[in-house]
Structure 1
Amino acid sequence: MAPIDSDDNTTAGEGEELRAGRRKAARYVVPVAVMGVAAATIGLVPALADSGDPDLPKVTAEQLIEKIAKSDVQQLSGTVRINTDLGLPDLGGLESGLMSGMSGGPGSGDDEGSAADPSAKLTELVSGSHTLRVAADGPDRQKLSLLENAAEYSLIHNGKDVWGYDSRSNEVYHSTAAGSAERPEKDVSGQDVPATPKDFADQALKAVDDTTSVTVGGTAQVAGRDAYRLVVEPKQDGSTVGAITVAVDAETGTPLKFTLTPASGGAAVVDVGFTKVSFAKPDASTFDFTPPEGAKVTEADEAGERAKVPERGRGAEGGLAKGMDGLEVIGEGWNAIAAFDTGAGGGLPTASAGGDLGDLGGFLGSFGDQVKGDFGSGTVFKTRLVNALITDDGKVYAGAVTKDALVKAADAAK
């Protein structure tokens, strides 16, 4: 069991309750349907709508985790602000295109799918600042709207139907929610991406083990509501994660804000928080949707056939997806490193090597650090949270760890 730092001694019975509570908290998700990219698990958010430190009854970390686990909010509406600062170079929007391609999401255009496909559209959340409007009424009705300059993208789940609408292109994407009613977005994109503080908190709680310290870090006020601060920190050296702070609503147990700060210091890497929130039942009309007149409507089955992606993110002949079939995890806890062999020697793929990235491989190489070790040589690509080593013989090592930790892992695997 993970050590929980508090002023109280935890009995065996309390410890068993804590483990049960943590398992419940990891499974529970506020029913807000969102889509995006698998990289959102990388982007696990600056302080938003905080004012004052309310005087609340003292609680232990165990009690606060249990409060999250027991939270059963099924109805809510509000505005969420997401800020992500991974420290990536400005590629003029190219990074979103790359993430869409790797996730298998189609772009816009008659031959490439629908601009309203959520698996491509919400890749924008991996960088920059974004404002979302969210609403939920039980497991069968949710809505998320991404507000843009003079445009809006909406994702609506109402019963068996999931609709994506892009006002800029006047395109509509339609799918049937045939799987889990609690996470209908996976039926559309095959991906499970956090976009609310609760989503991010669930991911953080899954990471709690004996390499983790969990404490209560005082109180806060978020979106006009009193909240406790749950602080999760790695005990291991070598992680790029400094601390994760979750603001938990004192009344309902719902996470209102999630902040991840890097071990290197400075601004938060990811900050997700409600600026406005209500737990009243949203109006039923919130979830109504009819394709606007003249809109281009794409059915999910049609988009899949048009995209012709036999393996997510790569062709059937191999590439990155083929290599990830042999994914291994080196180490444990916060220092875990994902390792796989792309099967393509020569480091970053190029057009001449038959890689899907074309000459972009050399372009990306200019942003990395060249490293050498017992494993040979390679390139380390760094963000403020996740780093990745691609060796010259086509192996990849990635994790929320330092460059030295990646090189050490590659040497040990030789």
Structure 2
Amino acid sequence: MAPYASDDSTTGGEVDERNSRRRKAARYVVPVTVVGVAAATIGLVPALADSGDPDLPKITAEQLIQKIAESDTERFSGTVKISTDLGLPNLGGLESGLLSGAAGGGEGGGEGSSSADPTAKLTELASGTHTLRVAADGPDRQKLSLLENAAEYSIVHNGKDVWAYDSKSNEVYHGTASAGPERDKDRQPPATPKDFAEEALKAVGDTTSVTVDGTAQVAGRDAYKLLVEPKQSGSTVGAITVAVDAETGTPLKFTLTPSSGGAAVVDVGFTQVGFARPAASTFDFTPPKGAKVTEEKDAGKDFGKEFGKDFGKDFEKGGARGHAEKAPKAGAGLGDGPAGVNTIGEGWNAIATFDTGGEGVPSGEAAGQFGGFLDSLGDKVTGEFGSGTVFSTRLINALVTDDGKVYVGAVTKDALVKAADAGK
């Protein structure tokens, strides 16, 4: 029988009164439930068996995090879709050139450069939507292919060799994988949901709410959904959702949504995945006839660190505790960066600050047309600190004061101004 059904003897007035009482009760129950979930920390909120499709056993957030940590998946193959929407202005391709140049991609196209250089090519994933084919067979064999229009870019790590091939230009980049205690970590294939999830989970602490938010199917596999949310106000991070394979504990999908709402800033997920050992031939590579081959020592270490650490961590640590604490390393591969980086605040509200030792963003007549261009990309702000310009994305914001101080973090514009005022 349907709930709340009435028998024939019930009058219309009684039904209306009963429905009214239920609506009033619902108004009180819903907010209490929401508050309870928001206040919960690790291990307090289990997934309900009927909270989604598929129907999986109950599990706590603590157990699910442990399941991720204990996941020993080293062999897999599949297709990954990665979408990134930082809300950067359209610079007509200029931003791609700047990113590639900053990443050391061929030293601006000079002698010895290669369009197959991974440190330049993988910066393309910092915007737009891309499809990747990935495969791994332990720490010594991985392959990643970036599928493009009528072209393909691949990175193949097989033993001591790392090869990168750009079919569009028919160029090959060859290097030797890194060695030492960090070797296996550096060789992990970048751009998988697990790469992102591991960094995001470093945010877990007193400033973070972690719950299990039901279940889902990802790439045809049953998964739990882990929800990570800042407890602090002022962060640009709204929530992080990680879909975790119920059988293996492998993260299948990572989604970061901003506190401002709208589309995800980062959405990385398998659309197809299997955990059988890939064929050994998957990791074979021979430079095509006529291809230009550029040699670079330790290219394997570069692509693993440059992308896996810089790209993945920069986005995920945008709200994670430790983002600003590791700020001196955040630009690895982008140059040494400024010295004397300090941290203001903690958790999701951590702000990295440093002094450039010079003037801030030029303005007025001294700036000329270039200054006007910069002004169009930022917002002028004032406070007790003086004045400056805030450059914003949907996740990371930076305040550059007129006297050359920089404040940057995954926080709102107001939070940056308050930090600058406090540091005055």
Name the TM tier (shorter chain).
Answer: 0.7 to 0.9
Q: Distance between the aligned counterparts of 1:362 and 1:285, measured in 2?
A: 54
Is 1:232 aligned to residue 246 of structure 2?
no
State the AA in 2 paired with 1:4: I
Out of 392, 402, 409, the position equivalent to 2:412 is 402
Is 1:67 aligned to residue 81 of structure 2?
no
* Structure-2 change in CA distance of 1:292 and 1:213 (3 Å): same
Q: Deviations over 1:221-260 (max 9, x none)?
A: 0000000000000000000111100000000000000011
Secondary structure of residue in 2 paired with 1:204: helix
Preserved CA contact (<8 Å) 1:107 1:114: no
Q: Deviations over 1:20-57 (max 9, x none)?
A: xxxxxxxxxxxxxxxxxxxxxxxxxxxxxxxx710000
**Match of 2:317?**
none
Q: Distance between the aligned counterparts of 2:76 and 2:57, measured in 1?
A: 25
Preserved CA contact (<8 Å) 2:212 2:226: yes
**Please, which moves more after superposition, 76-85 or 361-370?**
361-370
Q: Distance between the aligned counterparts of 1:245 and 1:363, measured in 2?
A: 37
Out of 264, 288, 295, the position equivalent to 1:292 is 288
**Match of 1:316?**
none
Q: How does 1:131-170 map to 2 (within 5 A)?
A: 131-170=131-170
**Match of 2:127?**
127
* Structure-2 change in CA distance of 1:183 and 1:117 (3 Å): farther
Preserved CA contact (<8 Å) 2:175 2:295: yes
Q: How does 1:187-202 map to 2 (within 5 A)?
A: 194-202=190-198
**Match of 1:218?**
214
Q: Distance between the aligned counterparts of 1:409 and 1:292, measured in 2?
A: 55
Secondary structure of residue in 1 paired with 2:172: strand
Is 1:369 aligned to residue 379 of structure 2?
yes
State the AA in 2 paired with 1:324: P
* Structure-2 change in CA distance of 1:194 and 1:140 (3 Å): closer
Q: Distance between the aligned counterparts of 2:187 and 2:388, measured in 1?
A: 37
Secondary structure of residue in 2 paired with 1:183: helix
Q: CA deviation at 1:106?
A: 2.4
Q: CA deviation at 1:267?
A: 1.3
Identify the structure with the greater helix proportion. 2
**Match of 2:185?**
183
State the AA in 2 paired with 1:391: T
Q: CA deviation at 1:97?
A: 1.8
* Structure-2 change in CA distance of 1:78 and 1:107 (3 Å): farther
Q: Deviations over 1:302-354 (max 9, x none)?
A: 99xxxxxxxx9xxxxxxx9565221111111000111112223142599x99x
Q: CA deviation at 1:113?
A: 1.2
Preserved CA contact (<8 Å) 2:105 2:114: no
**Match of 2:390?**
380
Q: Deviations over 1:369-393 (max 9, x none)?
A: 0001111111111111111111112
Secondary structure of residue in 1 paired with 2:66: helix
Secondary structure of residue in 2 paired with 1:366: helix
* Structure-2 change in CA distance of 1:408 and 1:194 (3 Å): farther
Q: Distance between the aligned counterparts of 1:359 and 1:202, measured in 2?
A: 44
Out of 382, 393, 401, the position equivalent to 2:403 is 393
Q: CA deviation at 1:6?
A: 2.1
* Structure-2 change in CA distance of 1:327 and 1:194 (3 Å): farther
Q: Deviations over 1:202-239 (max 9, x none)?
A: 11111111100000000000000000000000000000
Preserved CA contact (<8 Å) 2:41 2:211: no
Q: Distance between the aligned counterparts of 2:371 and 2:287, measured in 1?
A: 40
Is 1:331 aligned to residue 349 of structure 2?
no
Q: Which runs of 5+ in 2 are unaligned?
A: 1-39, 47-51, 300-309, 311-333
Q: Which has the larger radius of gyration?
A: 2
Q: Distance between the aligned counterparts of 1:359 and 1:323, measured in 2?
A: 27
Q: Distance between the aligned counterparts of 2:283 and 2:354, measured in 1?
A: 42
State the AA in 2 paired with 1:230: L
Is 1:271 aligned to residue 267 of structure 2?
yes
State the AA in 2 paired with 1:203: E
Q: TM-score normalised to the size of structure 1?
A: 0.78
Q: CA deviation at 1:68?
A: 0.4
Q: Deviations over 1:84-115 (max 9, x none)?
A: 11111111222122222333332674536111
Secondary structure of residue in 1 paired with 2:152: strand
Preserved CA contact (<8 Å) 1:108 1:114: no
Secondary structure of residue in 1 paired with 2:287: coil
Higher RCO (C-alpha under 8 Å, 6+ residues apart): 1
Preserved CA contact (<8 Å) 1:378 1:389: yes
Preserved CA contact (<8 Å) 2:255 2:264: yes
Preserved CA contact (<8 Å) 1:137 1:281: yes
* Structure-2 change in CA distance of 1:139 and 1:360 (3 Å): farther
Preserved CA contact (<8 Å) 1:261 1:270: yes
Q: Distance between the aligned counterparts of 1:360 and 1:199, measured in 2?
A: 38
Is 1:88 aligned to residue 88 of structure 2?
yes
Instruction: Calculate percent identity across the aligned residue pairs.
Output: 74
Q: Distance between the aligned counterparts of 1:184 and 1:113, measured in 2?
A: 23
Q: Deviations over 1:261-287 (max 9, x none)?
A: 111111111110000000000000100
Q: Distance between the aligned counterparts of 2:185 and 2:172, measured in 1?
A: 20
Q: Distance between the aligned counterparts of 2:65 and 2:396, measured in 1?
A: 26
Out of 260, 278, 283, the position equivalent to 1:282 is 278
